[in-house]
Amino acid sequence: MISAKTTHMGLVRTENQDSLGYIKVGANDLFVICDGVGGLPNGALASKTAVDSIISDFSIISSAGPETHLLSAMKKAQKAVMKANPKPLGTTVVALYLDGGTAYAAWCGDSRIYHFRNNLLHWMSRDHNILHDILNKGKSRGSMFMNPQALNRFFGREFEVKSDYYSFSVEAGDHLLLCSDGLSNFLMEQDIIHAITNNSPQDASDLMERKLLTEEIGAPDNFTWYIIQI
């Protein structure tokens, strides 16, 4: 396995509210990306609190299986963010645990996980936002006049929310991408697929960063990612 990472403030924001973390767990690997919720203050605190909590949880040997451990770490991270001060604050979370030939993914919000195989997008996490509810549940729950990209799940709300979870098999040659929406909202999906499946992780990372920083796109948001090649 080889990987590359980047995190950048972008060209418009005055603070990078994204956080990322990695830890080797025996022969396995854990990657985490969090993105402070736009429109709320203290996003940098929220994202760092969540990353630190999940990494800390996996630094302790656990007898629990990977799925149980990951879900438990997500719940503890959510509680840590809810307890953090000052308020208000919030963060999206995406975590990926690689254990042999299996990837265990958990997320809350609109930071994403992508799985590429044979130069194709094989699977992608689904965002937790108003548009997702409308398209996938067939109802808007009175939210049709809200911003369709508005988050309806993130860590730091006044009540606990459910993280989603998915596990899938990985094999040699597969590529995985964890990213904040500063990438997925501003770079076309085909450009992401092409960059990652036709380059080494580091070259793909450099290419996507250059594209986001062009005058045409202007990097209006913080952007952060891990690119992993199995």
Cis (ω within 30 of 0) for the bond into 148? no
- 47-60 burial: b if 16+ Cβ within 10 Å, else e: bbbbbbbbbebbee
Q: What is the mean pLDDT of each run of 10 residues along the chain (230 residues)?
A: 98 97 97 93 97 97 94 98 96 97 97 97 90 51 54 91 97 98 96 97 98 98 98
Q: What is the pTM of this model?
A: 0.92
> What DSSP state is assigned to residue 187?
S
What are 28-38's pLDDT values in tens digits? Answer: 999 999 999 98
157 in Cβ contact with 108 (< 8 Å): no
In whole angstroms, give the CA distance from residue 50 to residue 52: 6
Residue 126 has which token pair?
């689904």
What are 174-221's pLDDT values in tens digits? Answer: 999 999 999 999 999 999 999 999 999 999 999 999 999 999 999 999
Rounded to the nearest 10 degrees, the angle between the axes of helix 189-197 and helix 201-212 is 150
> Maximum distance among all alpha carbons in the chain?
50
The pLDDT value recorded for residue 38 is 84
In whole angstroms, give the CA distance from residue 224 to residue 31: 12
The pLDDT value recorded for residue 135 is 47
HEC sequence for 74-109? HHHHHHHHHHCCCCCCCEEEEEEEEECCEEEEEEEC
